[in-house]
A and B are shown apart, each in its own frame.
Chain A
Amino acid sequence: MIEINHLYKSYGQQVVLDDINLSIQKGVITGLLGPNGAGKTTLVSILIGIIGRDKGEIFIDGLDLDNHLSQIQTICSIVPQNLAIYPMLSAYENLEYFGGLQGLKGQKLKSRIDYCTEVASLQSFLTKRVHKFSGGMKRRLNLAIGLLNTPRMLYLDEPTVGVDTQSRNYILEMIKNINRKEGTTIIYTSHYLEEIEQVSDMIAIIDEGRLILNEPKEEILKQDFKVSIRVGELNDALLDRFKRIKPVRVQDDCILLTKDENFHDNLIEILTVLKSHAVEVVDFDSRDKSLETLFLNLTRKSLRDE
């Protein structure tokens, strides 16, 4: 179990994490979603003890991060966003090196290497040097190294960046299997919504250092926002009018209509009212992308590169 209370982190004047409170249950996969620069990598880096924090308490498996860092680092593992492997070494040599540095040796090291390569489907490529691997194979090896110490907590930082669809699906299945078979608690950071939706039990959204959502995936997906109408400006009278329509949520300049038995009538009513009051319809989206709609509405922006 991971418990984060009032976590703050800033670099100079720039606040990176702003009063983060998060509780993650044992054996749960939490998808940490956020735009680039939202603070996802900083959060997992703090959890593994790579970087410090300004304020806040962190408990992992009941252990205080400040006083039990070494112990925590033996039960946790991070798979960095970069390929933290040696291209000039073979897959086996990489696994042996990182396993050895984690205190594994002899038969125990060998059996962990065997297990991790099997999970990552790299058995046939153990003696091949990594620089000859495809992008997907490198990602799988990067992940396999993270499993060497049999972690109870696994932090995956954008583990599928730059891989093809087949490899991505394999990696996502691999992560679900690890969680199912070993009961590993996983934090999975990504800005790929479909990945988060595919692997996560819990979804947390972080933006500009603030945690703006932390709910079970099922609850979020139940809110099946079928239609999203972005409008120019709504006065209070119109807001009240729309709020009286039961499956409608209004967030800022966006009217979200959930599909139910009255969906057709409700949609016509909304559009009629907008027309009669000469409210400009800026955008209309009827695709079935509930999580993305929620994400965009919560963060009020699309994915950014900054």
Chain B
Amino acid sequence: MTKILYILKKEFLVMGRDVHSLLVLFIMPVAFILIMSLAMRDLFDTHGANQIKILVVNQDKSDPSIAFIKTLVNLKTFSFHHMADGTGIDLIRHKMFQEDYKFALVVEKGFSLAADRNASNTAERQMILLVKPSVNRQTYTILKNTFAASLAKARVANLIKGQEEMLDYAGIDIEKVMQPSDDLIETRYVSKSKLKFKVPTSVQQSVPAWLVFSMFFVVIPISNTFIAERNYGTLLRLQSMNISTGLLLAGKLLPFFIVNLIQVVLMILVGIYVVPLAGGDELTMGDSYGGLLLITTAVSFCSISFALLVASVAKTTEHATTIGGVFNIILGALGGIMVPKFVMPDFMQTLSVLSPMSWGLDGFLDIFLRNGNILDVMKESLLLFLIGLVMLSTTAIIIKRKLSL
């Protein structure tokens, strides 16, 4: 027992004096969480927290056009900013780029005629939508459909204008006909455990994603110290002191498990306290601390085993850093760290099961997002322990073979 304490002390001293490792283990994930939580906020914004800014110019100035724009303004998804009536396209374009508007809507003269119930030719242009090329296709389609729906609604309103008595006589409730369609749809978020649910936000995705990623980055400090120990003969010296391979491996597993625990606590605190300060949402945790500990332990075991395997195979620290870094990035990209899995096409989502980072991320999301418990993360945890055990056993064999040469 005393020996492991000396090993722990040594590992923490070496690590604490290695600025690069500290940056990789603690500063890099904090930066990623902050940047990605803010950068992906729009992608996760399904509940109207963030509005799309749109410039509006009404060249028509008629009652129908005013009513149409009023209908749009009532939609909470968009934030409309009026420019003076009669403003030309060039000025509008200039303002769009100056103040970062992605869209501008110009209601052209003749809108009221097209909206008129007696209009015989509605094929004429009624509006111009100016769009920046950087706008994604989905947003553009949603916006265009919304305008089309609002226009249709304006025309229906125009059609029934003056027909109230007849409709009343027919038993048609005009207010119900004109009721906003949004009110007719109730949205319900579902969770695995059927208990509570949380609306997914960018911070709920970013914290577990970059946490898993950073936990796997123990490959840098572990391989640095391990390869130095092997190349400088320290491992041979330890072997001559009757220190077993098991104790040598335990001497890496335990300290870096503690490092991983510190990372988890730190990243959660960043999600709860720092991201909101930067303008993002606050991270909310699940209720299962047992589940959180289980998935943390499993990810930690797998990541340290992976690091030891890389360290045992690589000849130099540069070699290990390259192998470890490249593998981590590939596993991260595949596992939904950099791009959330739900935006991946189906075949990529299927491929993502090949990455242990994906299992870890699913486990953390089970806890943070879906209010899962120990049982919910059991499958992912067992997979991570299993692959970790395979890698650790392979490492032990490689180390024994290398030391006996």
Contact = CB atoms under 8 A, between A and B. Distances in A.
A84 B237 contact: yes
Contacts of B238: 101
Given A82-B233, A84-B232, A96-B6, A70 B239 contact: no
Q: Which has the most chain A C-beta neighbours within 10 Å: B231, B233, B237, B404?
A: B237
B234 interface: yes
Contacts of A81: 233
A68 B66 CA distance: 97
Interface in A32-49: 45, 48-49
B14 A89 contact: yes
A50 B10 contact: no
Interface residues of B, number: 26
Nearest to B243: A101
Interface stretch (A55-63, A72-80, A166-174, A238-246): A72-80
Interface string A70-105: 100110111011111110110001001110111101
Interface residues of A, number: 35
Contacts of A86: 10, 14, 234
A86 B14 CA distance: 8
Contacts of A69: 242
B14 A73 contact: no
Contacts of B18: 88
A96 B7 CA distance: 10
Interface string B11-28: 001100110000000000
A296 interface: no
Nearest to A52: B404
Given A84-B236, A88-B18, A101-B3, A51 B405 contact: yes
B240 A89 contact: no
Q: Which has the most chain B C-beta neighbours within 10 Å: A101, A105, A145?
A: A101
Contacts of B17: 88, 129
A118 to B, nearest CB: 22
A93 B241 CA distance: 17
B121 interface: no
B390 interface: no
A88 B14 contact: yes
Nearest to A131: B17
B94 interface: no
Contacts of A77: 240
B167 interface: no
Nearest to B242: A73
Interface string A206-237: 00000000000000000000000000000000
Contact of B242 (A74, A85, A97, A145): A74
B10 A80 contact: no
Contacts of A149: 241
B233 A84 contact: yes
Interface of B: 2-3, 5-7, 9-10, 13-14, 17-18, 231-234, 236-243, 403-405
24 contacts: A11-B405, A49-B239, A49-B240, A50-B236, A69-B242, A76-B240, A80-B237, A81-B233, A83-B232, A84-B232, A85-B232, A86-B14, A86-B234, A88-B14, A88-B18, A97-B7, A97-B9, A97-B10, A100-B2, A101-B238, A102-B241, A129-B17, A145-B237, A149-B241
Top 8 A-B pairs ranked by shortest CB distance?
A100-B6, A82-B233, A80-B233, A84-B233, A84-B237, A73-B242, A84-B234, A48-B240
Given A85-B232, A100-B3, 12 more contacts: A50-B403, A51-B403, A52-B404, A78-B236, A82-B232, A85-B234, A88-B13, A89-B14, A97-B6, A98-B241, A101-B3, A101-B6
